[in-house]
Chains A and B, each alone.
Chain A
Amino acid sequence: MLDTLLSNYQEAVAMILFVIGFATLLFQRNLIRKLIGMNIMDAGLFLFLTSLGYINGRKPPIIEVQEAVADTYINPVPSGLVLTGIVVSVSVTAVMLSLSIRLYKRYHTLDMDEIYAMTLKEREEQD
Chain B
Amino acid sequence: MRESVRSWFREELSGMEEFLDTEEKPDASRVERKSAVRRWEEQLLSNPQMQREIQRRQQRYHTIYRLVAVLSCVLFGLVMLYMIAHMPHYGFANPRADEVASRYLEEGLKETGAVNIVAGMILDYRAFDTLGESFVLFTGLVCSLILLRVGARNPATLKHDQYFDTSSDAILHKIGVLVFPAIIVFGIYVIFNGHLSPGGGFSGGTILGSAMIILSASAGFGTTDRIFTYKRLNLMTFAALGFYSLAKGFVFFIGANGMHNPIPKGVPGALLSGGLILPLNIAVGLVVACTMYGFYSLFERGRIGHA
From the candidates A5, A60, A70, name the one contacting B98 in the complex (CB within 8 A).
A70
B133 at the interface (CB under 8 A from A): yes
Given contacts A4-B89, A63-B108, contact A95 B143 (CB under 8 A): yes
Judging by beta carbons under 8 Å apart, are B90 and A10 in contact?
A: yes
- A46 within 8 Å of B (CB atoms): no
How near does chain A come to B30, taking the closest CB pair, in angstroms?
11
**Given contacts A55-B92, A62-B115, A70-B105, is CB(A18)–CB(B97) below 8 Å?**
no
> Quick one: given A55-B92, A56-B91, are A87 and B105 in contact (CB under 8 Å)?
no
Main SS of the interface on chain B? Answer: helix
Mask: chain A, 27-67; 1 = CB below 8 Å from B; 0 = not: 10000000000000000000000010011100011111010
Is there a chain A Cβ closer than 8 Å to B55's Cβ? no
| Chain B contact patch, size range | 35 or more
For residue A9, which residues in chain B have a CB less than 8 angstroms away from its CB?
Answer: 90
Contact between B147 and A102 (Cβ–Cβ < 8 Å)?
Answer: yes
A19 to B102, CA, bound (A): 33
Total number of residue pairs linking A and B with CB closer than 8 Å: 156
Nearest Cβ on chain A to B49's Cβ, whole angstroms: 23
Instruction: Among A16, A75, A87, find the residue whose CB has the most chain B CB atoms closer than 10 A.
Output: A87
A18 touches B140 (CB 8 A): no
Rounded to whole angstroms, the CA-CA distance of A54 and B84 in the bound complex is: 15
Smallest CB gap from A1: residue in B? B85
Interface string of B84-120 (1 = CB under 8 A from A): 1111011111000110111111101100000111100
